[in-house]
Amino acid sequence: MNLVRFSPRELTRANTLGLPCVAERFSAPGSLAELQASLIEARERGWPLTLLGGGSNLILPPRLAGLVVQPAMANWWQEEGEEDSVRIHAEAGVNWHELVMALAARDLWGTENLALIPGRCGAAPIQNIGAYGVELADVLEAVEVVHLADGSVSRLSPEACRFGYRDSVFKGAMAGRVVITRLVLRLSRRAQPRLGYGDLASRTGASPTALEVAEAVCAIRREKLPDPAQLGNAGSFFKNPQVTSGLAKRLLAEHPDMPHFPQPDGRIKLAAGWLIDQCGLKGWREGHFGVHDRQALVLVHFGGGSATELLAFADRVAGRVAERFGVELEREPRLARGQAPR
């Protein structure tokens, strides 16, 4: 006997871009047993399966066939570790920003630079979310997953997750094979402020608390980024490209003020927002979509548009950058496509 019931669901408000979408069937399992029952049902009936988190890094089509599963397990708890360390267990449905602020209020260090990143904990490892010099990989101890093939549960180490810049095994070999159900984070009671990115240092005191750092990050993000509740967007729409040192040198000869960040592998990371801005695209609007007038890295939805229109607009933005700088931009948000569980 099934533990969950499926019904159609309007998902327009379930994605921060505000793209119109209807799920043919929808499930929000509140426990591991309910999640496993949903996956069994999809597998036995051959339904295409789409996994949905907070909808903050996702492009939805007008209709998703099969079954959309949005894990709703939303508990988190603290476990004392060795010396000054603390383990935080957070289920997939926990709101990431709310968790970060709660941890910072307890003066636990490690995630404060990741404040105000939208979405839920279950989606955080997929993108290896990062901001202000910190990535999820820096504080992650383990990821618990359910395998779609048989409903079994396993725990992955950070090494098994193969984290990279906005990348992980969940975008590659494990895409469509697992559902993330819980994160285990390792934080510290010892002050470890990381203030070297942007103007964080100037916004905090000499010895800030974790909460003061988190609040400074929130203030900066609110100044630069639009609120999805007011103007549809998925945050940074393009990854910051990493180019060869040769190309970077040629570009710097023409643009000495170009932001650039050497990487351990010898490549140079460029600022996608700066490249777009230099093409004169900040504030550019075409149809229902545009480039944000304060942060060129963000594409915004004014309402009434579709995924097809958004992707075409994004291609035009990337094309302008490629034409001027010879740099290819890669999209950050994933395009939802229902697929058979593997």
Give me Rg for the CA atoms of the chain: 20
* Amino acid at residue number 321: V
Distance (Å, whole) CA 300 – CA 302? 6
- Residue 236 catalytic? yes
- Residue 56 catalytic? no
Distance (Å, whole) CA 79 – CA 210? 19
User: Which residue carries 């989606």 as its tokens?
Assistant: 123
Distance (Å, whole) CA 92 – CA 181? 5
Alpha-carbon torsion (115, 17, 337, 330), positive or negative: negative
Distance (Å, whole) CA 276 – CA 195? 26
- Residue 98 catalytic? no
Question: Annotated catalytic residue: which of 141, 212, 309, 332?
Answer: 332
* Amino acid at residue number 129: I
Question: Annotated catalytic residue: which of 9, 120, 166, 182?
Answer: 166
- Give the residue numbers marked as catalytic: 166, 236, 332
